[in-house]
């Protein structure tokens, strides 16, 4: 995968709610955790987590701090899609997860319009 494709999938420089939600879904996929389990690990309510993953609100500091400390997925990626500083193994896992998360987002958006 080339750099431009990675930037597109990571929504690099896009700080919008949708981009952050897609990155959060991909990050959760990399962790292998269910949303309620990850929320508990982060010390946030299921509602707070769900709102972030559904693009209602941004991921909060506690959630991002946990992703960094436990899974090496840092704030720069979560908020801005900057992936260059992520370890190679994390990048290798994240890009397929980003593609899946984007496809899921698109499917949900299209079904909401029907």
Sorted by where each begins, the domain ranges of the chain are: 3-108
Place of tokens 């994390």: 90
3-108 under CATH 1.10.260, yes or no: yes
Amino acid 112: pLDDT: 73
Residues in the chain predicted with pLDDT less than 70, given as ranges, are 114
pTM of the model: 0.94
Place of tokens 């193994």: 89
Q: How many residues does the chain have?
A: 114
Amino acid 111: pLDDT: 82
User: What is the C-alpha separation between 101 and 84, in angstroms, rounded?
Assistant: 20
Amino acid 114: pLDDT: 59
């Amino acid at each position: 995968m080339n750099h431009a494709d990675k930037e597109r999938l990571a929504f690099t420089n896009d700080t919008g709610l949708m981009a952050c939600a897609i990155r959060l879904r991909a990050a959760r996929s990399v962790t292998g955790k269910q949303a309620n389990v990850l929320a508990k690990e982060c010390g946030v309510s299921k509602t707070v987590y769900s709102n972030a993953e559904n693009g209602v609100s941004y991921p909060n500091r506690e959630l991002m701090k946990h992703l960094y400390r436990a899974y090496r997925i840092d704030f720069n990626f979560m908020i801005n899609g900057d992936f260059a500083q992520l370890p190679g193994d994390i990048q290798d896992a994240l890009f397929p997860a980003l593609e899946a998360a984007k496809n899921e987002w698109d499917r949900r958006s299209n079904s909401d319009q029907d």
